[in-house]
Amino acid sequence: MASCVHTVLARALCVAVLLHTALIPSRAEADKSPYWIVPGGGIGWLPNEYPVKSSRPVIGGKIGARMSEHWAAEAHVGYLKSPARIAGTPSLSFLHVEGNVTLFTAGDRGFTPYLSGGVGQNYVHSEGAGSSLHRFALTGAAGFRRKVGEKAALRIEARDLRYKVLVPNTTREEYRHHPEVFVGVSFGIGGPPRDRDKDGVPDDEDRCPDTPQGARVDAVGCAIDSDGDGVFDGIDKCPNTPPGAIVDANGCEHDGDFDKVPDGVDRCPDTPRGAIVDAYGCPHDSDQDGIYDGIDQCPSTPKGCLVNDNGCPKDSDQDGVCDGLDECPDTPPNVKVDRLGCPIVVSDKETQLLETGMIRLQNVNFDTGRAAITPESESVLDEVGNILARWPDLRIEIGGHTDSKGGAAKNASLSRERAQAVLNYLTNRFPELNPGQFTAAGYGSSQPIASNATELGRAKNRRVEFKVLNKEALRREKTQERLLPNE
């Protein structure tokens, strides 16, 4: 019988070794208590050399202390009593006590195989004879632990004690095997309190007992979400998401149009790629040509110009005035145009400017005794403004002149105010004119060009003159009316 049991024990040891090899990389889920006690019992098979019944019930137990995650020190005690096989012979009682080192392999779902080995003493007492002896014993075991509660586990193991016995009818002692099967319930003592969600807050204090693994929690075990995006700190790979942003499972914001403003915050979620956007994800269009900044290759297009897909102005007749502003869109090639895109016709006034260095206007009227320009005079000044805009290098003096009626001082002051009013009108009406190129002067009645004795003469003396101060920059052209070639 002992030989048969020994074979079973050897096989159990092999199975335990294989389980250890296969499962050691896995994560253990065993009780983490630093100490434990294991009351239990089983069956033991005594060596055949003893004249008693071989297989007998065993009572005993273990106490253990953890040394590391997988290693522990354990003490085991077992007691059995066996009656004699032959009437009249004494019964024997066996007490064995040993210390073991146990290797708990890493298991899964609360199942933990283990191996154990150590040394101890075996005490044998012959009750009829009143004698006892003790023997040094080597022990080995293989078994498993199965969790049945937070700090409770079932322990089942196959054990073998090896110690010397007296060979019958000789004086020689030899080592024999003493196999046992032990079953007990392990009760953990001490250790950390239960924390099912492994957030570092014991279940008894945890107000949020189902926190996802990896999430950071507060003092009561509830997950922290600093940026309020629904993904907890510790799991959130983008912990500074703007409020309102739509995020993925990692807490990182979506940006469907790739404008660096996350969806949920982006008020313009379909912005073309490359466009410059504001804080709300809406594109800029500084020149209001319908092509967004960042895509617009001509970002300073004049307002009203028609543009191509790159935001650059179209100019169908290539006259330098863009379509949309060009009032003469079919200008022939090589023809110089005005600011509205229409061919320039050299007028008498421009001929006068080119030949004499001065334009004299006698039909610019003002309110009596004031410097307010009358509406019917605006068209005359507009004509002069268009001419001066074509000659940006000229320095011009605008001189005001009156007739001899009234005092000289008053006429000088009034003529200066009227000259300044003409200058203000032109620079406001024609923003391309550089005010620094112009001066205003009042001459009153000091420079008459006709007699002040007649009404006709006085009318001629009431005039505005545009005089070129840098005649060396003046370009002379032919005086007949014609189209001016485009240079």
Structure-block tokens of residue 406 = 């009234």
Q: Are residues 389 and 336 in contact, defined by beta-carbon separation less than 8 angstroms?
A: no
Q: Element (H or E) spanning 439, and its range?
A: strand 438-444
- What is the predicted pLDDT for the residue at 139? 96
Q: Are residues 280 and 289 in contact, defined by beta-carbon separation less than 8 angstroms?
A: no
The dihedral built from the CA positions of residue 292, 294, 297 and 301, taken in this order, carries a sign that is positive
Q: What is the C-alpha separation between 42 and 60, in angstroms, rounded?
A: 8
Structure-block tokens of residue 104 = 């708990």
The dihedral built from the CA positions of residue 186, 189, 192 and 194, taken in this order, carries a sign that is positive
Structure-block tokens of residue 326 = 């060009």
Q: What is the C-alpha separation between 433 and 398, in angstroms, rounded?
A: 14
Structure-block tokens of residue 34 = 């630093």
Structure-block tokens of residue 389 = 């805009």
Phi then psi dihedrals of residue 460, to 5 deg:
-70, -35
Phi then psi dihedrals of residue 449, to 5 deg:
-115, 0
All domains of the chain in start order, with CATH: 2-189 (2.40.160.20), 348-473 (3.30.1330.60)
Q: What is the C-alpha separation between 160 and 119, in angstroms, rounded?
A: 11
- Tell me the pairing of strands 358-361 and 463-468: antiparallel
Walking along the chain (487 residues) 10 residues at a time, the average pLDDT comes out as: 46 45 43 89 92 91 92 96 81 94 82 95 81 88 92 94 90 93 94 75 80 86 85 85 84 84 86 87 87 88 89 88 87 81 78 89 89 92 92 93 91 94 94 94 94 92 94 59 46
Chain center to CA of 19:
45
Chain center to CA of 325:
46
Q: Are residues 177 and 162 in contact, defined by beta-carbon separation less than 8 angstroms?
A: yes
Cβ contacts of residue 36 below 8 Å, gap of 6+?
62, 63, 64, 186, 187, 188, 189
Q: Are residues 152 and 172 in contact, defined by beta-carbon separation less than 8 angstroms?
A: no
Structure-block tokens of residue 141 = 């075991």
Long-range interactions of 407-410: CB distance < 8 A, separation 24+ = 408/444, 408/445, 408/446, 409/444
Q: In which residue are the tokens 């008459």 written? A: 448
Q: What is the C-alpha separation between 87 and 294, in angstroms, rounded?
A: 110
Q: Are residues 2 and 47 in contact, defined by beta-carbon separation less than 8 angstroms?
A: yes
Q: What is the C-alpha separation between 232 and 239, in angstroms, rounded?
A: 9
- What is the predicted pLDDT for the residue at 258? 83
Q: Are residues 97 and 120 in contact, defined by beta-carbon separation less than 8 angstroms?
A: yes
Structure-derived torsion over alpha carbons of residues 451, 452, 455, 461, reported in degrees to the nearest 10: 80
How far lies 199's CA from each of 207, 208, 215, 339, in Å? Answer: 11, 10, 7, 76
How far lies 81's CA from each of 126, 127, 164, 282, in Å? Answer: 10, 10, 19, 91
Q: What is the C-alpha separation between 180 and 77, in angstroms, rounded?
A: 12
How far lies 399's CA from each of 20, 303, 374, 379, in Å? Answer: 111, 35, 18, 19
Cβ contacts of residue 325 below 8 Å, gap of 6+?
302, 304, 305, 340, 341
